[in-house]
Amino acid sequence: MSNMLSKQQLAAILLELLERTAFHREQMQNYVNRMFESFKSDGVPYVECGKDTYIVRIYERGLVSLEKRVKQPDEVIYWLLEDSIFTATHVGLLERYGVDNKQTHLDYTNEVMNELNRGVQEAFQQIGDPYLHWHQTGKRQELEGMK
């Protein structure tokens, strides 16, 4: 018997986990809903559900820059959490500093990077394990590097 989850099931779990954080629900719904969009934004992981594996693709300028096959739903959920939490934290910093990174740019000083890392860490602490542990031990780099 397969433990594969549908995209809808993955999205529901993601939203449930993200509701534990301080991020606004509407913002998190937008990030989770990207899974269902036909347009593929740069740097965002997109998931396809196969028969016994998930295919995670990241696009750059319309081309696949990374494609990985993942068997465990928790690993896919973690990967999507990493992306959503980092993006939400980064957007929060852009808003706080009054920049848009198009016409005005954020100066990524050590202080700003520490704020970014602290915000991501706080969100994972609110979500808890196993995702907190995976975040702390570099699981995303493992997933992106696996063959």
Q: Which amino acid is at 7?
A: K
Residue-by-residue pLDDT tens, the chain, 147 positions: 458 899 999 999 999 999 999 999 898 998 898 888 888 888 888 899 888 999 999 899 889 999 999 999 999 999 999 999 999 999 999 999 999 888 999 999 999 999 999 999 999 999 999 999 999 999 888 888 765
User: Could you tell me the two tokens for 94?
Assistant: 């852009």
- The residue extents of the domains of the chain are 7-145
pLDDT of 51 reads 86
pLDDT at residue 2, as a whole number: 57
- Asked whether 59 and 40 are in contact (CB, 8 A), the reply is yes
Q: Model pTM greater than 0.85?
A: yes
What pLDDT does residue 146 have?
64
DSSP, residue by residue, 16-59 = HHHTTSSS-HHHHHHHHHGGG-SS--BT-EEEEE-SS-EEEEEE
Pair of tokens at residue 62: 């319309």
For the record, the structure tokens of 92 come out as 């929060």
Report CA 65 to chain centroid distance, whole Å. Answer: 16
